[in-house]
Structure 1
Amino acid sequence: MSAFDDLLAFQRQTEALSSVAERLGWDQETVMPRGATEQRAEEMAAMEAVLHERRTDPRIGEWLAAARPEGEAETRVVALIARSHARSSRVPARLAAELARTTSLAQGIWAEARANDAPEDFLPTLDQVLMLKREEAAALADGGDPYDALLEDYEPDTTAAEIARLFEVMRPRLVSLREAVLGAERQPPQLQGHFPQETQLRLSRACASAFGYDWSRGRIDLAVHPFSSGRWQDSRITTRVVESEPFNCIYSTIHEVGHSSYELGIDPDYAFTPLGRGVSMGAHESQSRIYENQLGRSRAFTDWLFHRMGDAFDGLNIRSADDFYATVNRVTPGFIRTEADEVQYNLHVMLRFDLERDLIAGRLDVRDLVKAWNARFLRDFGVAVDRPANGILQDVHWPVGMFGYFPTYALGNVFAGCLDRAMRQDVPDLDEALRRGDATPGVEWLRENVQRHGGLKPAGRLIADATGAPVSPDALLEYLDAKFAEIYRL
């Protein structure tokens, strides 16, 4: 066997073990008994120790030096393994295992604190997580910016400074549109009623099927915070149910189907290699957000959903498909990021981006985080946070150590705006299919132009190749302006 073959065989086992570790995380958030938290933390730490040892194995360096890749795919595989090996080698094995153990414990502590509206029960644990993440960031940065070092895990080749400049362009347009919408004479009605859990879940499964979710390689479960997990032949989704707010369940499901479909749509030849996963979280979020918003909240798809919901729940207080479309896209100053409308969603992300940069840099202490969050939320949204579960405790990302993840949501929206513009030019009959509850034409376009490539291309090139134009926020901002001007008759 050649050095490249040896490297690939070794990496195949590492990828398989990584998939097993991911399944442990899925189990913890869905069906694991509550009393098993400490055991799971030790299991996660043990798995991470094994994975870290493999990712830093000295033989990888030898194989990389001797490898002679042929073609684009093999060259990219070598580059990705080399990057992973270099980053992993900077992090001590002790730290990698301790991070896995602490974040696993923190997840359960956070869930309890969120349920009890008790940030004081969680903040000491968050402080432990933050100290470990600062240590990791310093090791990875090697003298550079610590936050950029963490961001690299989620959006390679992007810096916080670049994201900040992007947000500076987006924020004024989003704030201006929000003010116009909230001040408009027309305000869509709110959906009201009682929507039983089992009926919501049946309807969510129908929506997942409408977007082509492969039930032979996936499943849906309930979780505190919706997520997707897995790849290749097993990619699962979760959702959550509030019986007074069915859109929460429906659109969380569609969102996670976008993530899962990306993983399931990757070229099967890339399985068990670094190409066999989404190239970045921005690219990943582009799929979940375009499924959820440009497709799922479109006038065409909501027309189908209006009739399905009316049948499922024996009628709605919304009387027409046009009013239902407006209701689905209703802009309100709510607290929860995952439930935010398209106009305000990125403003939620910007808040978290600024706070987590300050946390990693040491400019903000965990003991001051609740006060800082609440003050910033009041300033940005004009509403005082009513309880911690609607504020600092709402997201799972910081408890599990995912500092650097939040800005990828906004990048995903920007990518989705670019993709939607190109997709609608290439698929002129898309709305006709969506009105039938069939997202297949759009899904197939995304699979061909984005999903099948997996990690083959860097994210910026992937989107540019798919759309024929450089990445820009203009497509997203123009889409939002046009959509909400029509809905609110601006």
Structure 2
Amino acid sequence: MSVDTAYTELMEFQRQTEALAQVMGRLSWDQETVMPRGATAQRAEEMAALEGVLHGRRSDPRLAEWLELAMPEDDEAASQLRLIRRMHDRATKVPSRLAQEIARVTSAAQGIWAEARAADDVSMFLPTLSEVVRLKREEAAALAAGRDRYDALIDDYEPGVTAAAVSALFDRMRPRLVALREAVLGAAFQPPPLSGHFGLEAQVRMARDLAATFGYDWSRGRMDMAVHPFSSGSGCDVRITTRVVETDPFNCFYSTIHEVGHACYELGIDPDYALTPLGAGASMGVHESQSRIYENQIGRSRAFTGWLFGRMTERFGDFGVADAEAFYATANRVQSGYIRTEADEVHYNLHIMMRFDLERGLIRGTLEPEDLEEAWNTRFLEDFGVAVDRPSHGMLQDVHWSVGLFGYFPTYALGNIYAGCLMQAIREAVPDLDDQLARGDTSGATGWLRENLQRHGGLFTPHETVTRACGFEPSEGPLLDYLETKFGALYRL
């Protein structure tokens, strides 16, 4: 090993690690889409074994030697080293035994959660959730090394962000969001919900068309069904999932557009970064900015919903909505629903704030898993004014805690904030955007995102990624201004 060869050797080693991580991701995709139910126990062992291999590579002592000797020749190489060093530092703090056990337990937990959710039975899931929480507390303690344990987990998804910063952000956002919600729900004008029956096959065909409209590359992707929609993969293999409710096509259509946002981010990264640390999104917050801006600022805009109304009329005939303006109002209808993934833009961040507080309590030990259902139901009634009627509408609705994604939820709100800033920049750069969207042409917006944000992958830190794209420091202001303007006009406030 020498200074001259250290960077090359390091990147060759890392390329294999990245390839193996993609294989593990494909196993997860298979588990959530097509794996037979009887394979759960075996898959858990497979995931644990592969995690052991990956953890061994990420904590390999040779990485420290290469990182010490490697001399970056440009900014790209410096960023590669920054991300590999971060990965190595975190891997060396977590024992291999613990990493494998987390992989084993969370793989099995996902199936147990799905069955408990279908049965509306918290008791079926509680022992497994308790084990997941125990393991994640242990991991958080190892990573934190005396710091806040929840901060250590947030850092996995949004490097540099702390629970204190998120809490302060939410404190600033909450009054304006609550005031807007109260004004909207108390408005004289209330758009009716969509009604009727929309067949599965017709919805799936429409969802595929919408994916293509937003630039999804079907030669490098596919779409399948899942209990909880998600996107998976990077490089030349980026897959999406959706779900169908035959009385609510918006569930399918906007879940699809959301996941296409994630997928197009990965597909838009410079191909030279494939199978390197730069070949993925900068953070989950930045990732969520893409899915949320595709879904909401673009997909639920007045201009685009006007186009979508025409396409739905062609596919489904008269489905009970009078015209494009009524359809726009229905597509953006505000209501205090139970389900986060179906929440309107006004309520969505309030859902995240609740989950943030609950999961922070679980990791810090101020809330125990056996008390979670009562804590959830109490908080939901306080925040939304509606009593939870069954567990699948409450603590069992999200997949995240079953698979150990503690610290992930705040990135949804950060993604909304980033999306607000990015849309402000897009509208300045693409003055005829609404004319384009009214024709079903999203390329002005998606092309701007690809050029100014997506292609960079992990080259910059999350904050730098958004700041460079927007031309200004991200803050909650543009998002809140956008929401107040949009819903104030829509509800004739």
Higher mean displacement: 387-396 or 433-442: 433-442
What is the distance in 2 between the residues matched to 1:236 and 1:182? 37
Q: Given that residues 300 and 431 in structure 1 are in contact (C-alpha distance below 8 angstroms), is that contact kept between their aligned partners in structure 2?
A: yes
Cα distance, 1:342 vs. partner? 0.2
Question: Letter of the aligned partner of 1:395 in structure 2?
Answer: D
Q: Secondary structure at the match of 2:220?
A: coil
How far does the alpha carbon of each residue in 1:251-287 deviate from its partner, in whole angstroms, 9 at most, with x for none? 0000000000000000011111100000100000000
Of 437, 440, 443, 2:440 maps to 437
Deviation of 1:187 (Å): 0.4
Distance 1:307 1:188 in 2: 19
* 1:310 to partner: Cα distance: 1.4
Question: 1:176 offset after TM fit, Å?
Answer: 0.2
What residue identity is the alignment partner of 1:36? A
**SS at structure 1 position matched to 2:218:** coil
**Aligned: 1:187 with 2:190:** yes
Q: Distance in 2 between matches of 1:312 and 1:391?
A: 34
Asked if 1:361 is matched to 2:374, the reply is no
Residue 386 of structure 1 corresponds to 389
Shift of 1:429: 1.5
Q: What does the per-residue CA deviation read over 1:127-153, in whole Å, with 9 as the maximum and x for residues that have no partner?
A: 000000000000000111100001111
- Write the distance in 1 (CA, Å) between the matches of 2:47 and 2:180: 45
Q: Does 1:47 align with 2:50?
A: yes
Q: Give the whole-Å Cα distance in 2 for the aligned partners of 1:314 and 1:43.
A: 48
2:109 is matched with which residue: 83, 86, 106? 106
**Displacement after TM superposition at 1:432 (Å):** 1.2
More displaced 10-residue stretch of structure 1: 456-465 or 347-356: 456-465
Q: Deviations over 1:354-406 (max 9, x none)?
A: 00000000000111100000000000000000110011000000000000000
Quick one: which of 467, 473, 478 aligns to 1:470?
Answer: 473
Residue matched to 1:318: 321
1:32 match: 35
Q: Which residue of 1 aligns with 2:353?
A: 350
Deviation at 1:468, TM superposition (A): 1.0
- The 3-state SS of whatever aligns with 2:224 is strand
Shift of 1:307: 1.0
Amino acid in structure 2 at the alignment position of 1:465: R
Paired position in structure 1 for 2:332 = 329
Mapping of residues 223-242 of structure 1, within 5 Å = 223-242=226-245
CA positional deviation for 1:54: 0.3
1:77 aligns with 2:88: no
Give distance in 1, aligned partners of 2:258 and 2:441.
16
Please, what is the CA RMSD of the aligned residues? Answer: 0.6
**Distance in structure 1 (CA, Å) of the matches to 2:186 and 2:69:** 65
3-state SS of 1:275 partner: helix
Within the alignment, does 1:131 sit opposite 2:107 as a pair? no
What TM-score results when the alignment is normalised by the length of structure 1? Answer: 1.00
Pick aligned residue for 2:282 from 257, 279, 284 = 279
- Any gaps of 5 or more consecutive residues in structure 1? none
Q: Deviations over 1:443-486 (max 9, x none)?
A: 00000111000000111111111111111100000000000011
Partner of 1:263: 266
Identity %: 65
Partner residue in 1 for 2:484: 481
- Distance, in Å, in 2 between the alignment partners of 1:97 and 1:465 is 38
- Aligned counterparts of 1:333 and 1:58: Cα–Cα separation in 2: 52
In the alignment of these two chains, the number of paired residues is 490
Q: Quick check: 1:172 aligned with 2:175?
A: yes
Map of 1:402 onto structure 2:
405
User: How far does residue 435 in structure 1 lie from its aligned partner after superposition?
Assistant: 1.0
Equivalent of 1:93 in 92, 96, 120:
96
CA distance in 1, matches of 2:187, 2:296: 22
- Return the offset for 1:311: 1.6
1:115 to 108, 118, 121: 118
State how far apart, in whole Å, the 1-side matches of 2:42 and 2:401 are.
Answer: 21
Give the one of 189, 202, 206 matched to 1:203.
Answer: 206
1:428 Cα deviation from its structure 2 partner: 1.0
CA distance in 2, matches of 1:190, 1:149: 42
Secondary structure class of the residue paired with 2:66: helix
CA distance in 2, matches of 1:168, 1:486: 25
* Paired letter, 2:73: E
Instruction: Please name the residue that 1:302 is paired with.
Output: 305
Question: Is contact 1:189-1:318 (8 Å) kept?
Answer: no
SS at match of 1:54: helix
3-state SS of 1:229 partner: strand
- Cα distance in 1, alignment partners of residues 466 and 447 from structure 2: 16
SS of residue matched to 1:359: helix
TM-score normalised by length of structure 2 = 0.99
- AA partner of residue 178 (structure 1): R
Which amino acid counterpart does residue 294 of structure 1 have in structure 2? Q
1:220–1:239 contact (8 Å) kept in structure 2 = yes
Residues 156 and 280 in structure 1, CA contact (< 8 A), matched pair in contact too: yes
Deviation of 1:441 after TM superposition, in Å, equals 0.9
Within 2, Cα distance between the matches of 1:293 and 1:379?
26
The answer to whether the aligner puts 1:216 opposite 2:219 as a matched pair is yes
Amino acid in structure 1 at the alignment position of 2:482 = Y
SS at match of 1:395: coil
- Establish whether residue 59 from structure 1 lines up as the match of residue 67 from structure 2: no
How far apart are residue 32 of structure 1 and its match?
0.4
Runs of 4 or more, structure 1, over 3 Å off, are none
Q: Residue 293 of structure 2 aligns with which residue?
A: 290
1:189 Cα deviation from its structure 2 partner: 1.5
Counterpart CA distance in 2 for 1:80 and 1:462 is 15
Of 129, 141, 144, the residue aligned with 1:141 is 144
Query: 1:447 corresponds to which residue?
Result: 450
